[in-house]
Amino acid sequence: MKKLFSLLILATSVSYGYCQSVATISINNDNSKLTISRHIYGQFSEHLGHCIYGGFWVDPKLAVAKQDRIRLDIVDALKKIKIPNLRWPGGCFADEYHWRDGIGPRTQRPKMVNTNWGGIVEDNSFGTHEFLELCGLLKCEPYISANVGSGTVEEMSKWVEYLNFDGESPTTAIRKLNGHPAPFKVSFLGVGNESWGCGGSMTPQFYTDQFRRYATYARNYPGAPLKKIASGANSFDYNWTETFMKNASLGMVWGLTLHYYTIPTGSWGDKGSATNFSEQEYFATMKNCLKMEELVTKHGAIMDKYDPEKKVAMVVDEWGIWTNVEPGTNAGFLFQQNSLRDALIAGTTLNIFNNHCDRVKMANLAQSINVLQALILTDKEKMLLTPTYHVFDLYKVHQDAKYLPIKLNSPDYVEGNDKIPALNVSASIDSNKAIHISLVNLDANKSIRIRTELKDLKWSTISGQILTSNKLTDINTFENPGKLKIAGFSGAKREGNELVADLPAHSIVVLELK
C-alpha cells in the first residue's frame, strides 16, 4: 500500500519551481502478436476544393515539375512519409461520381457539377487512370469509394471488372483501348460513403441490405481479391454499428468505417477559427479530440460481440480537426490553416489508433492537400508542409511494427473545473529491434518528466526528435514555411534501467531506443 501511494504521488506531483508534472510509463514486450498496420497512416483525396484540381492535378502551364499533370513535389513529399494508401474520389463526392465519365480521351469526357462542394463544374480530366497513375507514383495502395447513393449495382460491378478482370469482356476491351492492357488489381473497395447522410440518408437496416446486394456483385477476380469496406457509423451512432454487425453477412466484409471530426466548439455552425483561439478553446478542442478513444472502444466492443476473432477491421477513414474556413475563401472548399494544435491532434489520434491496433486496421486523415487538416498546402507554384505532415513523418516508424503494450499514469491538464490527461503515448518495436515511443504532451503550460520502465526490452542508446513551437497558434506560411519543423531532441537519458525524459509543454516527441 505504501509503495502504491508513493507511485500515485510521483505521478501527480508538480514541481512549481520548474512548472513540471511527472508521469510514469511501463512498456512491456509480452510476446504480443499485434502489429500496427501501416494502413492506419492512410490519406484521403476528395474532389473537394483544391485537393485534386490545383493540388495533385495542376494546370499544364504551371511552372512546377509534373508527370502528365500530376504535381511531383507533392508526390515526393508524400513518398517521404510512406503513405500506405490513398482514398478517392470521396467522401460525399463518391456518391455522385460516375466512373465512366472519367475514362477515355479527356477532351471527350462530359463535364459535371460538384453539388456537394461549391457547385463548381468539373471536366473529369482526373479519373480512374489518372488516380491509379498517382498511386503508382506514390507507391501506395488505391482505396476506391464506389457510388451506392446515386449509382447502381451494375455500375459498381462494371467498375470492379474494369479495374481487376484479366480477361476478355466488353469492359476490359475499353480499358485496353484506354491504354492499360493489364488489370490494375485494386484491393480496397468502399461500398458507399456516409450512407446515413450525404451518401443516401439511409437507415442502418436499409444500408445493410444494400451492402449485401452491392457487395455480392463486386466480384473477386483471379489474382485480385477485394477488401470490401462497408459504410459505418457517424461518431456516436452505436445503433448503426449494432445493426450492421448483427445483420450483415460478415464473410463479405473486410472493414467497417467510422467517421469522427474534432470540432473545436462542438457545434457544426460556428466551428471556431483554425488560427485564432484561446487556451480555453484549445482545451475544449483537445477534450473533443480525446473522444476518439471512447468511440473506438465502444464501437469496438459492439464489433467484438458479433466478431470476437476481430476479423472485421475498424476503418476510421475520415478523421481530423474541422474548423471554419479561412476568411475570404470559398465556404464549399473547406480550406483551413494548420497550427501546432492540429499537430497535437494528429499525434494524439494516431496514438489512440496504435493502441487499438487489434481492431483499427486502417484510417485516413481528412484530407491530404488544401482541405481540412491537410498535410500540404499549395498556392500556384508555392508549396508548404504543415505541422500535421511532420507528425506523420515522425510516426512513420510505427508502420507495420510490433505493438508494445503500455501502462500510463498521466498527470492531468486542468482548465477551470475541467481536466483531461496531459500525456498520451504509444510504442512499437520494428524488425531491426529498434524501439519507438511517441509521446504527446497536451498541457499548454507545463513540461512533463516521464520515467519509463521497459520490461524485457534491451537497449543501450537513445535518440529523439521533437515538434513544437512557442505558441499553440503558430503555423507555417508561404512566407515562412519552416516555422514549425522537426528538430533533434536531447531531453532524454538513461538512469539505471529507466528511461527519463523531459517533454516541453505542447510538444510531440518520438524517441528511438536501440
Asked whether residue 469 is domain-assigned, the answer is yes
Same domain, 278 and 222: yes
**Do 18 and 52 share a domain, yes or no?**
no
Q: Domain of 502?
A: 2-31+423-513
Instruction: Determine the Cα–Cα distance for residues 277 and 445; give it in Å rounded to an integer.
Output: 15
Asked whether 421 and 290 are in contact (CB, 8 A), the reply is yes
Are the C-beta atoms of 373 and 321 separated by less than 8 Å?
yes
In contact, 32 and 404? CB cutoff 8 Å: yes
Closest by CA position to 156, among listed 174, 144, 140, 168? 144
SS (H, E, C) 208-229: HHHHHHHHHHCCCECCECCEEE
Is 409 part of any domain?
Answer: no
Q: Specify the pTM.
A: 0.95
Q: Based on the domain organization, do 215 and 346 belong to the same domain?
A: yes
78 and 15, same domain (yes or no): no
* Shared-domain flag, residues 501 and 369: no
Element (H, E) at 451: strand 447-455
| 349 and 440 share one domain | no
For 260, phi then psi, to 5°, come to -150, 125
> Phi/psi at 229 (nearest 5 deg)?
-115, 120
Are 483 and 430 in a shared domain?
Answer: yes
Helix axes 291-306, 238-247, angle to 10 degrees: 20
CATH code where residue 445 lies: 2.60.40.1180
**The one catalytic residue among 96, 168, 194, 294:** 194
Sign of CA dihedral 397, 394, 374, 291: positive
Q: How many residues does the chain have?
A: 514
Starting at the edge strand found earlier in the chain, the sheet holding 401-403 runs: 35-36, 401-403, 423-429, 435-441, 507-513, 462-467, 487-488
Instruction: Indicate the number of domains in the chain.
Output: 2
- Backbone phi and psi for residue 209, each to the nearest 5 degrees, phi listed first: -65, -40
From the CA atom positions of the chain, what is the Rg in Å?
23
Domain boundary among 352, 372, 403: 403
CA trace torsion 372, 284, 410, 390 (10° rounding): 20
Residues 10 and 114 both lie in one domain: no
Asked whether residue 487 is domain-assigned, the answer is: yes
Percent of the chain that is helix, strand, coil (3-state, to 5): 30, 30, 40
Task: Render each residue's pLDDT in the chain as its tens digit; 514 residues.
Answer: 333 333 333 333 333 335 789 999 999 887 778 999 999 999 999 999 999 999 999 999 999 999 999 999 999 999 999 999 999 999 999 999 999 999 999 999 999 999 999 999 999 999 999 999 999 999 999 999 999 999 999 999 999 999 999 999 999 999 999 999 999 999 999 999 999 999 999 999 999 999 999 999 999 999 999 999 999 999 999 999 999 999 999 999 999 999 999 999 999 999 999 999 999 999 999 999 999 999 999 999 999 999 999 999 999 999 999 999 999 999 999 999 999 999 999 999 999 999 999 999 999 999 999 999 999 999 999 999 999 999 999 999 999 999 999 999 999 999 999 999 999 999 999 999 999 999 999 999 999 999 998 888 889 999 999 999 999 999 999 999 999 999 999 999 999 889 999 999 999 999 999 9
In a domain, 288, yes or no: yes
Task: Judge if 302 and 224 occupy the same domain.
Answer: yes
Render 109-154 in DSSP notation, one character per residue.
SPPEE-TTTTT-EE---S-HHHHHHHHHHHT-EEEEEE--SS--HH
Residue 85 within a domain: yes
| Of 162, 349, 155, nearest in space to 259 by CA | 349
Helix (H, G, I), strand (E, B) or coil at 24: strand
Determine contact, residues 199/148, Cβ cutoff 8 Å.
yes
Report the distance separating Cα 105 and Cα 503, nearest Å. 55
User: Do 324 and 461 fall within a single domain?
Assistant: no
Query: Are 44 and 26 part of one and the same domain?
Result: no
Q: One of 46, 130, 141, 318 is an active-site residue; which one?
A: 318
Task: Provide CB contacts within 8 A for 207, sequence distance 6+.
Answer: 192, 195, 196, 200, 231, 244
**Residue 16 Ramachandran class (φ > 0 left, ψ -120 to 50 alpha, else beta):** alpha
**Pairing label, strands 20-28, 447-455:** parallel
φ, ψ (nearest 5 deg) of residue 415: -135, 110
377 and 434 fall within a common domain: no
Beta strands in 195-312 (DSSP E): 227-234, 255-262
Q: Any bridge partners for residue 467, and if so which? A: 508
318 part of the active site: yes
Do 438 and 467 touch, CB atoms closer than 8 A?
no
